[in-house]
């Protein structure tokens, strides 16, 4: 994965570009990287702040031959790779630095509890088959000024670690981790081989969470994920709820 690589100084959205390339015949593994996005997007139609000069925005495009049900799990495979890449980078400074990196299920990476990365996976079908999947990643590397509404939840990695980070090195580390974990994913077409390492990095693990979905909300204790990447939430009566990522947002309480 990661070949060929298309780089843009400024682009509307790396996901949009990667989808266009996929439709025009680009091969699986294409990586679209940009220094700025003018229309960066998050889940459920929300935006992703994407100013130039300091952050990472990339989209990996894949043309896999597995079932469409598998696609959402790729968000978690990528989240694990990003978390590993950032841990490796921060680990060069200190072990404590690396220990601050975690995953907020399903698709956010946090450092010291603040969101430094979001992931947006989108799939395009051709009749019953997947034509392509794009996995878009935005990482705040050295950004300081966030808009008011996200200021207390967002952070940049360099603010958290205090030393300069090479963006190209970080992308290379993430791609290497992704390639390795994607191989493991392909062996079973689920997260059986990855769920333990994912759960170790899960910041919500053994913490009380509030699950908000369109049907209502409930509280429980996050315990990990199942083979399909659903969050396991233990209710007060001890029963386990399996939460599908689709429409759900999880908050710490």
Judged by the rule CB under 6 A, the positions of this chain that interact with ligand ATP are 42-44, 46-49, 107-108, 115, 118, 120, 138, 140, 150, 154, 249
Q: Closest distance between ligand ATP and the C-beta of residue 141, in Å?
A: 10
Nearer to ligand ATP, 68 or 150 (CB): 150
Nearer to ligand ATP, 84 or 104 (CB): 104
Nearer to ligand ATP, 184 or 210 (CB): 210
Q: Closest distance between ligand ATP and the C-beta of residue 183, in Å?
A: 26
| Contact (CB, 8 A) for 195 and 185 | no
Burial (CB count within 10 angstroms: exposed 0-12, middle 13-18, buried 19+), residue 117? buried
Nearer to ligand ATP, 61 or 156 (CB): 156
Q: Closest distance between ligand ATP and the C-beta of residue 145, in Å?
A: 11
Q: Closest distance between ligand ATP and the C-beta of residue 129, in Å?
A: 26
Q: Closest distance between ligand ATP and the C-beta of residue 113, in Å?
A: 12
User: How many whole angstroms separate alpha carbon 166 and alpha carbon 164?
Assistant: 7
Q: What is the dihedral of CA 234, 235, 238, 244, to 10 degrees?
A: -40
Q: Closest distance between ligand ATP and the C-beta of residue 125, in Å?
A: 21
Q: Give the length of the chain.
A: 253
Nearer to ligand ATP, 85 or 138 (CB): 138
Nearer to ligand ATP, 26 or 174 (CB): 174
Strands of the sheet containing 231-234, edge to edge, are 240-243, 231-234, 216-225, 208-213, 249-252
Closest residue by beta carbon to ligand ATP: 42
Q: Closest distance between ligand ATP and the C-beta of residue 236, in Å?
A: 24
Nearer to ligand ATP, 62 or 79 (CB): 79
């Amino acid at each position: 994965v990661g070949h060929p690589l298309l780089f843009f100084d400024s682009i509307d959205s790396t996901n949009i570009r990667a989808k266009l390339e996929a439709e025009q015949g680009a091969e699986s593994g294409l990586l679209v990287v940009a220094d700025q996005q003018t229309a960066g997007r998050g889940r459920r139609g929300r935006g992703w702040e994407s100013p130039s000069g300091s952050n990472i925005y990339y989209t990996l495009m894949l043309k896999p031959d597995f079932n469409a049900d598998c696609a959402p799990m790729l968000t978690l495979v990528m989240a694990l790779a990003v978390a590993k890449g950032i841990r490796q980078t921060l680990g060069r400074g200190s072990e404590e630095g690396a220990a601050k990196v975690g995953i907020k299920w399903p698709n956010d990476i946090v450092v010291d509890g603040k969101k430094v990365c979001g992931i947006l996976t989108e799939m395009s079908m051709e009749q019953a088959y997947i034509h392509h999947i794009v996995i878009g990643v935005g990482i705040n590397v050295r950004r300081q000024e966030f808009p008011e509404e996200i200021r207390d939840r967002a952070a940049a990695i360099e603010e958290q670690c205090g030393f300069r980070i090479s963006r190209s090195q970080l992308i290379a580390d993430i791609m290497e981790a992704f390639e390795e974990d994607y191989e493991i994913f392909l062996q079973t077409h689920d997260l059986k081989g990855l769920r333990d390492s994912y759960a170790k990095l899960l910041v919500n693990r053994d913490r009380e969470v509030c699950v908000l979905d369109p049907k209502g909300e409930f509280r429980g204790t996050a315990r990990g994920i199942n083979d399909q990447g659903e969050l396991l939430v233990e209710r007060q009566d001890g029963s386990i709820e399996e939460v599908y990522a689709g429409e759900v947002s999880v908050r710490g309480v």
